[in-house]
Amino acid sequence: MEIKDSTTVNDNPQDIFDEMERQNNKLSELSEELLPLIQTIAVKQREYNIAYAEAEMKLKMDGMAITLIRDLAKGNRAVADIGKELYLSEMMYKYTIRRMDDISSRIEQLRSKLTWKRMERSNAMM
C-alpha cells in the first residue's frame, strides 16, 4: 500500500482538480478565521491601551519619577498580561496569513501543472 503525500498529486488532470478543490476549501476555512482574529486584536489593543494608561496615571499620582513611569507601567502585571495576549493574537493573525499565502502558492503550482499537462496532451495529438 502506497502512502500518498498530500503535496504530491498524480498527473491525472482530475486528481489535480481534486487537489485544487481541497486547497481552495482550506483557503476558505482560513479566510473565515481572519475576522475573529482581527476582532480579538482590536479588543486586546483597546484593553492594553486602557490598562497602560491607568497604570501610568497611578504611577504619576503616586509621585513616581517621570523617567521611570513608562517602563514601570509596561511592567505592571495586568498590562503585561494583556500585552502578551495582544502579541499572541497578532502572531496568530500573521501565521494564518502566511498559511493562506502557502496554500495560494500551492494552488498556483497545481494550476501550472494542469496547464503543462494540457499543453503536453495537445502536443501529443499533433
**Per-residue pLDDT for 3 more than 60?**
no
**Residue range 18-41: mean pLDDT, rounded:** 96
Q: How much is the average pLDDT of 86-103?
A: 97
pLDDT confidence tier of residue 13, bands split at 50, 70 and 90: confident
Q: What is the pLDDT of residue 5?
A: 45
Q: Is the pLDDT of residue 4 over 70?
A: no
Residue of 107 and 9 predicted with greater confidence: 107
* CA–CA–CA angle 48, 76, 62 (5° rounding): 110
Measure Cα distances from 90 to 1, 4, 12, 96 in Å: 43, 34, 40, 10
Does a structural domain hold residue 26?
no
Does some domain include residue 17?
no
Average pLDDT across the chain, whole number = 91
Residue range of the domain that includes 64: 35-125
Residue 1: per-residue pLDDT: 39
Task: With respect to residue 70, please indicate whether it lies within any of the assigned structural domains.
Answer: yes
Total of domains in the chain: 1
91: which 3 cell numbers? 502572531
On whether residue 24 sits in a domain, the answer given is no
The pTM of the full predicted model, rounded to 2 decimals, is 0.78
Amino acid (1-letter code) at residue 45: Q
For residue 6, tell me if it sits in a domain: no
Q: What Å distances lie between residue 118 and 32, 85, 87, CA to CA?
A: 33, 49, 47
